[in-house]
Chains A and B, each alone.
Chain A
Amino acid sequence: MIVDRISVGGYDVVVYKLRNDAIHGVFMGDTPLLGVYNDMGRALLFSAYFAEDSVVYRRVSGGSVIYLFAVDSEKLNSKADTWGIQRHTVVKDVAATLLYAEGYANAGGIATEVTLPRRCWRI
């Protein structure tokens, strides 16, 4: 069941529910480009909501690169809550968006779903 659909960079990004999970998909027409369990798709999705006015700064120091930008926390949290996704997940996806946009990873090359389980967060 499709629960949301937006356009990002000419792509249709679809949020749908599969079984009991809120999952995302990125489609071009009817062709899925990115699929379930691929966080890049979800990154695109979230980016569409707040990335349009997020100016990115880049600093290069030696072999390291640090990017700095800001997002609308309120909007970000609102979407996360609406879709039943944890807020920190959204932040991961924002960073993943940047990694993808800057060419550090290919589509399908980022998955941020390996998290310590909730019980471990207390450590």
Chain B
Amino acid sequence: MDALGFRRVLFISQKGQPPRADILGVYDSETIIIGEVKSVAESSVVENAAAEVANLLDALKKWQGVSGEYVAFATYVFSGAGTDVPNIQQIGSYVVSNAWVTPASAGGLVVPPPVDKAKFKFVYVLFDPASGKVAVGIFDAAEKNLRDKNWIFGVHNAVEEALRTVGGDEIGVLGELLAERLKALRSAPYAKEVGIFIDMLGGSPASVT
């Protein structure tokens, strides 16, 4: 535990072997698993997790092949008031989710527009439920970085440090930033997406009411 009560949680990978509780870092890009390093339970759980993560990586690679860029999105919520997951409360872990931005993650519905800015952004999010503070770190990443545990450590430490302190250049209020972006959306030609969503909704917005 560090001063904030965070446990170290890292990407744990395995190469033809079940994930091991004492392995930290990313060892290969074939299978990445995220976990609480001290609480590996039954082997069956581990095996299931490995399969799930393999699917994630496969999906990620597929989208990468389509668009050439992606955003990885990792979220951690800590034990205590911020989590409603019994298992997490029981073992004191704060690992709750790992999500990748990929069309496959949306059920293979559509290939979304490419990420606007630079390629290979890795997003690392920490949330402190006690204070409500959210730190969102956005890093230039490459596949080799995701295999480098020191890089992952650095990412974590940088975001964690930001969470400890208040400051930086004040850029606005989240709601206002969002409103500005929505204005741009309103004027953009989104006919294609609208058509897709209508299809998703069963042909007519009225059908979902």
Q: Which of B40, B45, B77, B87 contacts A88 (CB 8 A)?
A: B77
Residues of A within 8 A of B182 (CB): 8-11, 44
Taking residues whose C-beta sits less than 8 angstroms from the other chain, chain B's interface range is: 35 or more
Pair A25/B208 contact, Cβ less than 8 Å: yes
Verify B87–A118 contact, CB threshold 8 A.
yes
Assess whether B136 is in contact with A32, with CB atoms less than 8 Å apart. no
Interface of B is mostly: mixed
CB distance from B95 to the nearest CB of A (A): 6
Chain B residues contacting A98 (CB-CB under 8 Å) are 134, 136, 174, 177
A105 adjacent to B169 (CB under 8 Å): no
Residue among B102, B140, B186 making CB contact with A111, cutoff 8 Å: B102
Chain A contributes a number of interface residues (CB within 8 A of B) equal to 86
Complex A-B, nearest 6 residue pairs according to Cβ-Cβ distance, in ascending order? A35-B197, A51-B175, A57-B168, A123-B35, A114-B105, A9-B182
| Chain A residues with CB below 8 A from B35, complex form | 120, 123
Known A32-B194, A107-B190; contact A68-B113, beta-carbon cutoff 8 A: no
Question: Given the complex of chains A and B, what is the CA–CA distance between A44 and B174 in angstroms?
Answer: 11
B82-133 residues with Cβ-Cβ distance < 8 A to A are 82-85, 87-88, 91, 93, 95-107, 109-110, 112-117, 121, 123, 125, 127, 129-133
Is residue B146 within 8 Å, beta carbon to beta carbon, of the partner chain?
Answer: no
CB within 8 Å for A70 and B48 given contacts A56-B177, A100-B178: no
Q: Cβ of A89: which chain B residues have Cβ within 8 Å of it? A: 97
Closest partner residue, chain A, to B105 (CB atom) = A114
B166 contacts partner chain A, Cβ-Cβ < 8 Å: yes
16 additional contacts, CB 8 Å, given A10-B182, A122-B87? A31-B194, A37-B200, A54-B175, A56-B170, A66-B137, A68-B162, A70-B132, A71-B132, A80-B84, A87-B83, A89-B97, A95-B75, A98-B134, A99-B71, A99-B73, A112-B97
Residue positions of A touching B, CB distance < 8 A: 1-2, 8-11, 16, 18, 23, 25, 27-28, 30-38, 44, 47-48, 51-61, 63-73, 76-77, 80-81, 86-89, 91-92, 94-123
| A27 CB contact (under 8 Å) in B53, B75, B205 | B205
Which residues of chain A are within 8 angstroms of B40 by Cβ–Cβ distance?
Answer: 123
Using A66-B135, A108-B113, A120-B52 as known contacts, say yes or no to A115 and B98 having CB atoms under 8 A apart.
yes
In the assembled complex, which residues on chain A have CB atoms less than 8 Å from the CB atom of B166? Answer: 57, 68
